[in-house]
Amino acid sequence: SLPYASAKSGILGMTRGLSEAYSPRRGFHGITCNAIAPGFVHTELTKKVFEDRDRAQILADKTLIGRNSIPEDLVGPAIFLCSQASGYVTGQTLTVDGGFGSLGCP
């Protein structure tokens, strides 16, 4: 949908812009700005979709992993981005979608 695509594009651009705004070029040190782009996650907000088992299965089948995401799937990537292991990563969006995008799905 147009609102979803607009919001997603805005987050991607904001992530890049904030990484530059809080960079050593601007007098800041040790700050990185990144984002996580999750796939379809089973949460309270998506509960109605998951109540429709056929629809939820169609979404799961569009991933390489073969299932929809749960919030715990995002913990590792978040820890990585909060750790020194990602100290040279900034302005990036880490896609955690079970391979949904790799299959050409939007």
Q: Which of 4, 24, 27, 83 is catalytic?
A: 4
Q: Is the dihedral of CA 59, 46, 101, 95 positive or negative?
A: negative
22 is catalytic: no
Q: Closest by alpha carbon to 25, among 17, 14, 34? A: 17
Q: Closest by alpha carbon to 16, among 38, 28, 3, 32? A: 32
- Cα–Cα distance for residue pair 100/90, rounded to 1 Å: 23
**Burial degree of 13 (CB within 10 A; 0-12, 13-18, 19+):** exposed
> Catalytic residue positions?
4
